[in-house]
Amino acid sequence: MANNQHRSIRKVSGSKYIAGNKQKAHELGGLAAHTTVADSRVKVKRVMGGNTKAQLLSANKVIIADGKSVKTATIESVTENPANINFTRRNVITKGAIVKTDLGEVVITSRPGQSAQLFGKLK
């Protein structure tokens, strides 16, 4: 089954919309990036309108904004990921994930699958 980004099948009342058309190519979504802890790898994709979007496939450094200073830390592992229980075991980084670095625990504030950058703040 394709990852469809069409409107919902259900109305606010709970009844179904009458199907006007099947899935179209422009309504299909892409696969998740599942950014892991490894050497940095970026994939550039062509998106609607001929624009490009970069996905971060793996990273081992995070940029930490701590008040006025900006530091770069090396990621050791993912300690907690509220998006999915199994992401912690697989070392998958998403927004909101808590990673263990050489400076301490860091909460990821960026979306690595959308922006190809890894920003965070100290916990």
* 60-119 per-position pLDDT tens digit: 999 999 888 999 999 999 999 999 999 999 999 999 999 999 999 999 999 999 999 999
Q: Does the 34-122 domain belong in CATH 3.10.290.70?
A: yes
Q: Which residues contact 9 (CB under 8 A, 6 or more apart)?
A: 16, 17
Instruction: Give the pairing of strands 61-66 and 119-122.
Output: parallel
What is the pTM for the complete model shown?
Answer: 0.81
Q: Is the pLDDT of residue 1 over 70?
A: no
Q: Domain locations in the chain?
A: 34-122
CB 3 within 8 A of CB 31: yes
